[in-house]
Amino acid sequence: MSLEGTDVGLLSPGRAGSPAEAATGDTAFLRAMLDAEAALTRAQATVGLAPSGAATAVSAAADAGRFDVRDLALRARSGGNPVIPLVADLTAAVPADAAPYVHRGATSQDIMDTAMMLVARRTLDLILADLTRTQTALARLARQHRDTVMPGRTLTQHAVPTTFGLKAAGWRSLVLDARDRVRPVRDALPAQLGGAAGTLAAFGAYARGARPPGAFAADAALGAGLVSAYADHLGLVEPALPWHTLRTPVADIASVLAFTAGALGKAATDILTLSRTELAELSEGAGGGSSAMPHKANPVRSTLVAAAARRAPALAATLHASMAAEDERPAGAWHAEWEALRDLLRTVGGASLHAAELTENLRVHPEAMREHLGLTDGLIVSERLTAELTPLLGRARAKEVLTSAARRTRDEGRSLAQVLADEPGLAGMSAVDLTELTDPTRYTGSAGTLTDRALERR
């Protein structure tokens, strides 16, 4: 079979081969649409709108392997969505007595929106499993390196010492924030059923049958019961209203996925920086190779996660923009969601898998961290010295002395302790232990306590 013209992930190493890719592929969407169609007929049978035999027949025919995805895609061009040709093929695939009950009373958006929720739920399950792996790995790193001192950096420069344990605990906190946002969205994903314009009118019309005209109260109760049964058959939440143009579910998915990508991207970006050759404080367990430079072990997992973090916000923006949808079914806004949602799910799904593999195999190099603490010959603790010298010299004089000492440290190639020891005019310095005060490993503040507190979160 020729794959020409088929997207097999050649330009998408971030998601190629991942479970999220399979969960969001064309076949997965086809399966979800068929699940929605089968559930609709079963729900109608549940409330007496269809014979049980029809529900059985439609469910049996709703097998994705019986349908040609490419053919459906090409035929979708004429009607603007793939549900229309799918309904035709599904109707042809069932016995004649079941055919009238295929898709009866529904509209294409009912099926498409419900399929999107099914695909999203299945993919979010995968993402949540990866987030659990990632937070577990980061908790282990935070515990192991609770007291591993390293330079803290602000605006790319050394600031004050910190610990790698606190850094890993911070990454984990973001991952848990993502988990705590994804879970309620996944658990609240609703089915969609409203009919042509969100009134459920057709279902009442089919049910009316021999009942006298004007039996609208019975129709209303039947519609509500049908939606409940439909959601129950799908394992989705019953919506309060049809949401054809009330796109909260889609916007919620967009928001939590963009946040998750950013949360994972923070850790990846830090790891990329700290794995630079001239730093080498961290390294990936299995770096990638280069096509031209045999010596390289590139931080590929971090790179792919960081790439996802850059892509996700734009995809989420498309979904948020589609909230401004006119009438009871928009022209274009709804259609714009399909590819953006799929791309966002698989982008973040791929990133979450890479993040789990990255953190589970991350290598920490404390010796490099310790070496870098000494790069500024003690200046990394100038904040501490300011606080210690201010009571002796006054704030202005202490700042003046330390500014001068910092300049001399850089110019003379001596340590800050050595420079301060012979700094003229430092009355009272005999009471100060410069060796202890300029030791960066003794100036980590509450890093250990903060790490412990962060690790209490489950």
Q: Which range marks the domain in which residue 413 is found? A: 379-437
Asked whether residue 140 falls in the same domain as residue 205, the answer is yes
Phi and psi at residue 251, to the nearest 5° = -65, -35
Residue at which a domain ends, from 315, 337, 364: 364
Say which of 329, 370, 408, 410 is annotated catalytic.
329
Structural domain includes residue 394: yes
Tokens of 44: 């109608």
Asked whether residue 130 falls in the same domain as residue 176, the answer is yes
Say which of 211, 290, 395, 446 is annotated catalytic.
290
* Cα dist from 128 to 177, 184, 231, 246, 287, whole Å: 12, 11, 23, 26, 25
Asked whether residue 329 falls in the same domain as residue 299, the answer is yes
Asked whether residue 405 falls in the same domain as residue 297, the answer is no
d(CA 233, CA 42): 8
Structural domain includes residue 446: no
| Contact predicate 140/164, CB 8 Å | no
Task: Report the amino acid identity of residue 384.
Answer: R
Asked whether residue 175 falls in the same domain as residue 320, the answer is yes
d(CA 235, CA 237): 7
Per-residue pLDDT of the chain (458 residues; tens, 9 = 90+): 445 556 788 888 999 999 999 999 999 999 999 999 999 999 999 999 999 999 999 999 999 999 999 999 999 999 999 999 999 999 999 999 999 999 999 999 999 999 999 999 999 999 999 999 999 999 999 999 999 999 999 999 999 999 999 999 999 999 999 999 999 999 999 999 999 999 998 988 887 653 444 444 455 567 779 999 999 999 999 999 999 999 999 999 999 999 999 999 999 999 999 999 999 999 998 765 545 544 557 899 999 999 999 999 999 999 999 999 999 999 999 999 999 999 999 999 999 999 999 999 999 999 999 999 999 888 899 899 889 888 888 889 888 888 888 888 888 888 888 888 777 656 555 556 777 888 999 999 999 999 999 999 98
Q: Which residues contact 230 (CB under 8 A, 6 or more apart)?
A: 39, 40, 43, 191, 193
Structural domain includes residue 144: yes
Asked whether residue 299 falls in the same domain as residue 400, the answer is no
Asked whether residue 399 falls in the same domain as residue 265, the answer is no
Catalytic (active site) residue 290? yes
Domain CATH code at residue 31: 1.20.200.10
Catalytic (active site) residue 404? no
d(CA 43, CA 228): 8
Asked whether residue 306 falls in the same domain as residue 405, the answer is no
d(CA 312, CA 178): 14
What is the number of other CB atoms lying within 10 angstroms of the CB of residue 434?
18
Asked whether residue 203 falls in the same domain as residue 226, the answer is yes
The C-alpha R_g of the chain, in whole angstroms, comes to 30
Structural domain includes residue 311: yes
Structural domain includes residue 405: yes
Asked whether residue 275 falls in the same domain as residue 137, the answer is yes
Residue at which a domain ends, from 337, 364, 391: 364
**Number of structural domains, the chain?**
2
Structural domain includes residue 373: no
Asked whether residue 97 falls in the same domain as residue 223, the answer is yes
Structural domain includes residue 24: yes
Asked whether residue 216 falls in the same domain as residue 360, the answer is yes
